[in-house]
Structure 1
């Protein structure tokens, strides 16, 4: 069974694939981008998400979000990379986002040297981003779809209220209601990788858009948020439905 953060990370990529490419490339887009089918059904497997970058030299950007340890993670990453290349006939760049320090697997270094018993050694290279080592500003000032990663990058929990306030100002100014709902629901799920319910509820108290999100409500209904039960009565959303600092009710400007 997939964990809620799996669906959350995929949703964030679909919101703005070009924004993710700009963040990783640190440059202007080399061409149009689009999310493509990540299924590699020849081995009944699917990568997290794949973005195709079109242009004079097209290629694929393969992103994997990891929140748990897995001794076979790097071989699996290589498998996805190779199968995507075979299926789409395009060069593949694999990027790993490690979402929490507990996932800091020793073998995930960005390079895997394969030394077969017979034959020459060869190397598989990929990129690793340890979110907790990134400055929160990288996510706060980038594409909206990267905002939910900002709290995971906070080194000091005391900075969380400020980070969430900055997120709120950007979401209020730049996102419509459906997108705001998705971003807050994603933030709720990802925060659960580091913090307990009481901390998260205080941080996101009154975020009405999150509570109206169909994704968030589905998580509540299944009792699977953040891979564990919420510890709340079924159907009862976290936080309070009114008084949001960032909500934008129809016809009424939101106060800060």
Structure 2
């Protein structure tokens, strides 16, 4: 099932693919994000990066926030299919966004075995546990990797300082500000309570007509349409509300879902979407509807 952060992490890989190669200290001359063209076979595979050079290869990056016993096997399938399509060797790197994503299958190579237990296929992949990563590496790296900084080895009391340094860099160097802050918002929500994220990021979206706020809403709308399978404007707006509202207020009740489903006018749903970062609960959002 798609996660709230799937869309923005793919955008981050597209922004500066070469910076991800540098972050992982891999070799290569140039890098470009490419479509893996696996939509009909492996629709949830993340973006892949083609690294050019004397020995070209594919860098396949995945982001995980929860533990799934079969995920190593799934990554092996993606790796094999991408290699088959591109005719290049494929390196798979998995970024674990929080400790809950770690587990047995992340601690050793994945093996396929015969019925007698003898291994006949071994799949090697690299695991990056963000909570063990030094924050300076991400603060000083590429802009496209900076949204991961708050998930690194940072004490809660140091988060405001980390975000301040992020803001200084983003303001100074420009780039796709909307995508960077949208990614920061959603990625921080993986590990921290929505009330904490809202408080910490209040300074970068204090005006609802700001560039950053509008970018957050627009990115969420794109994600909402994708989750809603693009079944019309109203469905896209409704899924936007469920996407970001779920991150902020928790899962909606059956009554809340019914109330949202009863709203068929896109303009009314858009009005609710515009208030998502101004209210503190589902009941407050839907008050007067």
TM-score relative to the length of structure 2: 0.74
What does residue 215 of structure 1 align with?
219
What does residue 192 of structure 1 align with?
189
Q: Verify the 8 A CA contact 1:39 1:46 in the aligned structure 2.
A: no
Q: Verify the 8 A CA contact 1:211 1:237 in the aligned structure 2.
A: no
Partner deviation per Cα, 1:57-95 (whole Å, 9 max, x = no partner): 111000111112211101111001111111111000000
How many Å separate the matches in 1 of 2:92 and 2:273? 39
How many Å separate the matches in 1 of 2:20 and 2:98? 19
> Within 5 A, what are the aligned runs for 1:101-180?
101-117=99-115, 121-176=120-175, 179-180=176-177
Q: Which runs of 5+ in 2 are unaligned?
A: 206-210, 225-236, 251-271, 280-289
Q: Verify the 8 A CA contact 2:244 2:276 in the aligned structure 1.
A: no
Q: Verify the 8 A CA contact 2:95 2:128 in the aligned structure 1.
A: yes
| Residue of structure 2 aligned with 1:228, choices 246, 249, 252 | 246
Deviation of the 1:114 alpha carbon: 2.9
What does residue 8 of structure 2 align with?
8
Deviation of the 1:217 alpha carbon: 5.6
Q: Which runs of 5+ in 1 are unaligned?
A: 241-256
User: Which has the larger Rg?
Assistant: 2
Does residue 56 (structure 1) correspond to residue 39 (structure 2)? The answer is no
TM-score relative to the length of structure 1: 0.83
Query: Equivalent residue of 1:40, what SS?
Result: coil
Q: Verify the 8 A CA contact 2:29 2:53 in the aligned structure 1.
A: yes
Query: Equivalent residue of 2:105, what SS?
Result: coil
* Equivalences, count: 236
Q: Verify the 8 A CA contact 2:66 2:101 in the aligned structure 1.
A: yes
Query: Equivalent residue of 1:43, what SS?
Result: coil
Deviation of the 1:216 alpha carbon: 4.3
Partner deviation per Cα, 1:167-221 (whole Å, 9 max, x = no partner): 0111111114xx1121111100111111112111111113144312021465695
Runs of 4+ residues over 6 Å off in structure 1: none
195-204 vs 230-239, greater mean Cα deviation: 230-239
How many Å separate the matches in 1 of 2:61 and 2:30? 18
- 1:105–1:120 distance in 2 versus 1, CA, 3 Å: closer
RMSD over aligned CA atoms reads 2.4
Higher RCO structure, 1 or 2 (CA under 8 Å, sep 6+): 1
How many Å separate the matches in 2 of 1:88 and 1:77? 16
